[in-house]
Structure 1
């Protein structure tokens, strides 16, 4: 089997995980912006798309079509797009055979399923469920910008399927899948520093959960609204949302643990030490073995493993001024991560726990220990330096900016390194420089 794409266009399409449907939508939208001739805009049929990506074009298409393609793929002219991909190019990653197989399988299934009228194949829903589940489970290993793009593609696909079926059970399942995709969009938006976008998307996910009568999704979305409010400097609203989320029925132990941890953080931000400590203790209780279909059944970004709980509670301990408790919990989070396979370690949890540990040591006067604690974060790739890590790193930098540290070599070096770390982050590169909560 030939693993090499015949055109650069095919390679770029594969890289961006475009199906014909998503390519056509982007082509039409771009034509509206670039050509703006209404019904006289160029179009792209599926046969034409296959000829373009399969290297079967004998001459370049019309001038308007060329303008649209060059606008869709900035930096490439049409001669390059319809030519063979370069042997080596930093802009074009190696061809991913597995991804090509998966994309081909999706396209073939879409073609086979296109004859459905009043209903769609249950297999179609199963495949969409699998893809959303995979994205949730691999969330920690993918850049937030990539997750956002893929979750939006899945949301659009779920909505298209909703338009094709009148079967109530299928409609409900697709509502749930739409809501899951939007919940992942909200998480990605938050991690990219867009609190307003994340809030709107979380509310939308909650509406999907309400429409589908699926309380775990409603609870997850309300929990997301709670921590977004917390990071926006609205701890009272965060507590209200966390309590609302906990009031939903049908939640498993993982869901309740996540919500209690969020509630504890908001209480700590308000200075309610006793209530915050009580919420921490409740979040760490074993529970009754209850499960639900989202937090446990799908898991991944919808889950809340022990290391993430320990990391979150270390932040709460810092808020209420208990440095020893914060250090113990941050060390526990890092220890639990070290027991995992490297591919299963969440950079967000690693970086956040490391920053919390550093701040706890600074509070006790151990600058050298803080520098040691920060070592793991420097290796986190820029596209995985997300809001939670950046907020905590900023707290360390602000602490090191106190007059007592002025002129000292190591604190100055750490402050500068944190600034460089932040400048290379995904939110900063996207222009989201203001990262909310100052606690």
Structure 2
């Protein structure tokens, strides 16, 4: 059978498995259906057996018209050309200068791609570090700008190794977008970016980044008020990474916090014990204080939060103190969230005025750009549990007045 142009284009893009092709086909199909307002297109699929026949050149006629429309949108080539045989390549003579130059250019492109991939890995690390120090409102436009540039790089010819690294970089960048949007309180947009990051992680076929992306998405569900979904996705994230690595270290305490919100003491403590074991196995590089690392300070914060939700105020206080001891002063957001848990424990003890003072002090210590998203949502929730009316102490009234001030919405990335 003759080699079809379809196969040549699939191989050129690295979509040679049906799973990878199916992801790209579905994305093109959904985009086309939305653009043309044709809901019928959403049902169009290419079965694995059909894909394998096309790759083998076993084509007796063109696919169904709607399938052809999607394929033309995906490849930018008429369906008639897609299923036409490729011309036989001309055999170059030994020593042919054009042939030598073609090989040289291909090898050079590969080296440039690998160097470019290393640059993008540095970009990811820079953004991952910035998430620990800078407000999300500043980071989101920069992340978006670099993602646009990364997309341009992905469209250029790359070596296989360079393409895989760039695709993995896209997964990390998508996960960082998810993280910033979750912290900003933009939960629907965070989930959309998480799906993009999932796709890139699957394309790169990298278990470590897949686990980390799933963990970030689980955090989005947690802060959106879906503890059951968060626990299930956090469990899946741990399994995806082989129950080790940064993804598992991040996901296990999140699973504990979700169980604690539901009052499940046994599962909470099991997940916390698992998280501590994973933390002990992390390398020094994996313990870096960035969004793609995990530290003891983060674990103590998450441990304290889980114990706070369980109402175990004495053990929570130990974790809070350790977290505040370990976190540098530049970690303003996480320190504020720890102090919110401290205030919650004081309220559990019946100290409404002390809880309000603790929370108000934590919030006013935050620069205004950081007073958005999850920290204010948690502050408002806690303030809603405090006495109202004439029974409300003055610090409680001051806290409510502070929280009543409007906050800016996160910029749309």
TM-score, normalising length: structure 1 = 0.63
The answer to whether the aligner puts 1:273 opposite 2:259 as a matched pair is: no
Root-mean-square deviation over aligned CA pairs: 2.6
**In the alignment, which residue of structure 2 is the partner of 1:392?**
378
- Where 1:304 maps in the other structure, the secondary structure is coil
Instruction: Specify whether residues 386 and 307 from structure 1 end up closer, same or farther in structure 2 by C-alpha distance, changes over 3 A only.
Output: farther
Out of 117, 130, 150, the position equivalent to 1:138 is 130
Aligned match of 1:300? 290
CA shift in 2, pair 1:305/1:372, >3 Å:
farther
Paired with 1:214 and 1:304, the residues of 2 have a C-alpha distance of 19
Contact 2:120 2:166 in 1 (8 A): no
Question: Does the CA contact (< 8 Å) of 1:242 and 1:259 recur in 2?
Answer: yes
User: Match for 1:258 among 241, 250, 254?
Assistant: 250
C-alpha separation between the residues in 1 aligned to 2:129 and 2:174? 15
Query: SS in structure 2 opposite 1:263?
Result: helix
Specify which of 395, 398, 402 is matched with residue 417 of structure 1: 402
Where does 1:104-183 land on structure 2 (aligned, <5 Å)? 120-183=112-175
5+ unaligned residues in a row in structure 1: which ranges? 1-115, 432-439
CA shift, 1:359, in A, is 1.3
Q: For this pair of structures, how many residues does the alignment match?
A: 304
Query: Distance between the aligned counterparts of 2:178 and 2:351, measured in 1?
Result: 37
Aligned to 2:57: none
For 1:207 and 1:191, the matched residues in 2 are separated by 22
Q: Structure 2: which 5+ runs fail to align?
A: 1-107
User: Which of 362, 369, 376 in structure 2 is aligned with 1:383?
Assistant: 369
- Cα distance change of structure 1 residues 286 and 172 upon mapping to structure 2, 3 Å threshold: closer
Bigger shift: 170-179 or 143-152?
A: 143-152
CA shift, 1:122, in A, is: 3.1
Q: Which residue of 2 aligns with 1:214?
A: 206
SS at match of 2:157: coil
- The alignment's TM-score, normalised by the length of structure 2, stands at 0.67
Equivalent residue, structure 1, for 2:8 = none
Counterpart residue number, 2:393: 408
Report what 1:366 is aligned to.
351
Shift of 1:264: 0.6
C-alpha separation in 1, matches of 2:166 and 2:192: 20
- 1:350 is aligned, of 316, 331, 335, to 335
Q: Tell me the secondary structure at the aligned position of residue 281 of structure 2.
A: coil
CA-CA distance at 1:319 after TM superposition = 1.9
- Tell me the residue number matched to 2:229: 237
Compute the displacement of 1:297 (Å): 8.3
* Pairing 1:205–2:200 present: no
Q: Partners of 1:249 and 1:192 in 2: how far apart?
A: 27
Question: Does the CA-based 8 Å contact 1:120-1:161 persist in structure 2?
Answer: no
Q: Compute the displacement of 1:134 (Å).
A: 0.8
Following superposition, the deviation at residue 351 of structure 1 comes to 0.8
Distance in 2, matches of 1:197 and 1:324, equals 37
Cα distance in 1 for partners of 2:226, 2:321 equals: 28
Aligned partner of residue 120 in structure 2, secondary structure: helix
What per-residue deviation string (whole Å, max 9, x for no partner) do you get for residues 125-173 of structure 1? 2222212211111212222122111112222222211221231001000
Shift of 1:120: 3.0
> C-alpha displacement at 1:346, in angstroms?
1.5
Residue deviations 1:192-245 (CA, integer Å, cap 9, x gap): 211011011112112211110111111111112212222222222112111111
Q: Contact 2:286/2:294 (CA < 8 Å) preserved in 1?
A: no
Q: Within 5 A, what are the aligned runs for 1:24-63? A: none
Q: 1:227 maps to what in 2?
A: 219
Say which one has the larger Rg: 2
